[in-house]
């Protein structure tokens, strides 16, 4: 029998990080309606993908993982507006990109219900941090259930405290964007300062 928590709607954020050597990393975080992390994951993606190809490939990765984790209703959030528009309108060019978009649409049919929406890049810091972390792990892919890696916890806390309303079904409002950015950078800066303080010094 399916766990009741897996039948409830979840938000799935994902992002891509690209390095100068043309390698890319994918990151995702899945939260429930209370903002609690249900799962997180990362993957080193193929090399030499265009930005659009990387975003679409990452989208297929997170859809597949959400299905594997037995979630049945999901809202996928991306900061790539062209991809969101293509998936919403089901517009697919006769190209490899169109094939990749079609694969995402077909994979999403495994959910009872699913939706994709656009968010600001600043609101995708947790997923982006996971994507960057993909470059420093030994495995090509790693998935965590009900948690994130220790180095990502600070980003989850900053995001949750700065904008608790974000966990609702609506997207963040513009007037909240600057407030979050200010709080976020203060939080991270404070953490960096404290990390270099020697509390044992007399």
- Name the residue among 34, 125, 116 with its Cα closest to residue 82: 116
pLDDT at 90: 76
Q: Which two tokens stand for residue 169?
A: 């079904």
Spatial CB neighbours of 153, under 8 Å, sequence gap ≥ 6 = none
- Give the CA radius of gyration of the chain: 17
Q: Are strands 73-78 and 113-118 parallel, antiparallel or unpaired?
A: parallel
Query: How far is Cα 32 from Cα 180, in angstroms, rounded to an integer?
Result: 21
Beta-ladder partners of 111:
none
**What letter would DSSP give residue 121?**
G
Query: How far is Cα 162 from Cα 183, in angstroms, rounded to an integer?
Result: 6
CB 26 within 8 A of CB 131: yes
pLDDT at 16: 95
pLDDT at 134: 95
HSE at residue 30, side-chain half, CA atoms within 13 A, is 28
- Name the residue among 127, 152, 120, 113 with its Cα closest to residue 58: 127
pLDDT at 92: 64
pLDDT at 165: 54
- Residue 192 has φ and ψ, to the nearest 5°, of -65, -40
- Name the residue among 1, 8, 55 with its Cα closest to residue 28: 55
Fold category of 10-190 in CATH: Nucleotidyltransferase; domain 5 (3.30.420)
pLDDT at 202: 41
Alpha helices (runs of H) in the chain, residue ranges in sequence order: 4-7, 51-68, 81-89, 96-108, 125-133, 153-162, 174-195
pLDDT at 179: 52
Tokens 């990765």 correspond to: 61
Per-residue pLDDT of the chain (202 residues), as tens digits, is: 345 566 788 999 999 999 988 899 999 999 998 889 999 999 999 888 888 899 999 999 999 999 999 999 999 999 999 889 888 887 766 667 888 888 999 999 999 999 999 998 888 899 999 999 999 988 899 999 999 999 999 988 887 776 665 555 444 444 455 555 555 554 544 444 333 334 343 4
Query: How far is Cα 49 from Cα 140, in angstroms, rounded to an integer?
Result: 16
pTM, two decimal places: 0.77
Domain ranges of the chain: 10-190
Provide the terminal-to-terminal Cα distance of the chain, rounded to the nearest Å: 58
């Amino acid at each position: 029998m399916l766990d009741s928590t897996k039948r409830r709607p979840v938000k799935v954020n994902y992002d891509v990080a690209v390095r100068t050597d043309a390698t890319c990393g994918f990151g995702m975080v899945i939260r429930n309606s209370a903002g609690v992390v249900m799962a997180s994951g990362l993957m080193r993606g193929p090399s030499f993908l265009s930005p659009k190809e990387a975003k679409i490939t990452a989208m297929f990765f997170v859809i597949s993982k959400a299905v594997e984790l037995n979630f049945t209703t999901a809202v996928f959030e991306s900061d790539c507006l062209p991809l969101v528009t293509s998936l919403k309108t089901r517009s697919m060019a006769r190209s490899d990109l169109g094939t990749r978009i079609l694969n995402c649409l077909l994979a999403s049919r495994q959910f009872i219900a699913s939706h994709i929406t656009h968010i600001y890049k600043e609101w995708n810091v947790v997923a982006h941090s996971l994507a960057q972390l993909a470059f420093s792990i030994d495995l090509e892919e790693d998935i965590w259930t009900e948690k994130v890696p220790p180095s990502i916890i600070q980003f989850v806390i900053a995001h949750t405290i700065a904008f608790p309303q974000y966990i609702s079904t609506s997207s963040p409002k513009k007037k909240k964007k600057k407030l979050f950015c200010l709080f976020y950078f203060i939080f991270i800066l404070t953490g960096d300062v404290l990390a270099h303080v020697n509390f044992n010094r007399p």
